[in-house]
Amino acid sequence: MQSFNRLQRLPIYQQYFFQTIDTDEQAMELVLMLAEMAAHWQEVPVGAVVLDEQRRVIGMGVNHTVYSHDPTQHAEMMALRDASTFMGNYRLPDTQLYVSLEPCMMCMGAILHARVKRVVYGASDPKTGVCHSVLQHEQYAQLNHHTSIQGGVWQEQSAALLRAFFKSRRAK
Ligand SMILES: [Zn+2]
């Protein structure tokens, strides 16, 4: 059953969808606003955005696994589904995906299937990150000939949000 996408009903979604985002920093700013929504919903705060060739927002996502009872509802997956639905195509060859946390194996698989051109992420994930942390994307270069990856953009802000979330959860 397709879970209800709460994000699409929010003012932030309607405000930013199809808006042009000029810089990596502005894209990460939006990603972090989305991550804060996830935290508000008691989900691990990760946000993601997909931009098209003209740098317009065509997909947004937040981590949403708890609410949707769905282990695949990571921010990147939601943003890719959103973008693919909008484009009417599961291939997204001239897009860029921005995410606040280093993608996991599942999300990186979907990113490669979609042929996303470039991935930009904030904080490293030493437990499940497959760009540089647990695996290095150079190691699967044959799979990965479509996608370039850049980490550490707004790393501190992305990591601080996650730290604050886990600290407040431990305190409960
Ligand atoms: Zn993931």
CA nearest to 76, candidates 53, 52, 105, 56: 105
How many A from CA of 107 to the centre of ligand 1?
4
How many A from CA of 105 to the centre of ligand 1?
6
CA nearest to 122, candidates 148, 156, 166, 95: 156
Q: What is the pLDDT along the chain (172 residues), one digit of tens a residue?
A: 345 689 999 999 999 999 999 999 999 999 999 999 999 999 999 999 999 999 999 999 999 999 999 999 999 999 999 999 999 999 999 999 999 999 999 999 999 999 999 999 999 999 999 999 999 888 887 777 779 999 999 999 999 999 999 999 888 7
> Using an 8 Å Cβ cutoff, are 33 and 11 in contact?
no
How many A from CA of 76 to the centre of ligand 1?
6
156 is catalytic: no
pTM: 0.94
Q: Which of 76, 102, 138, 156 is catalytic?
A: 76
How many A from CA of 79 to the centre of ligand 1?
11
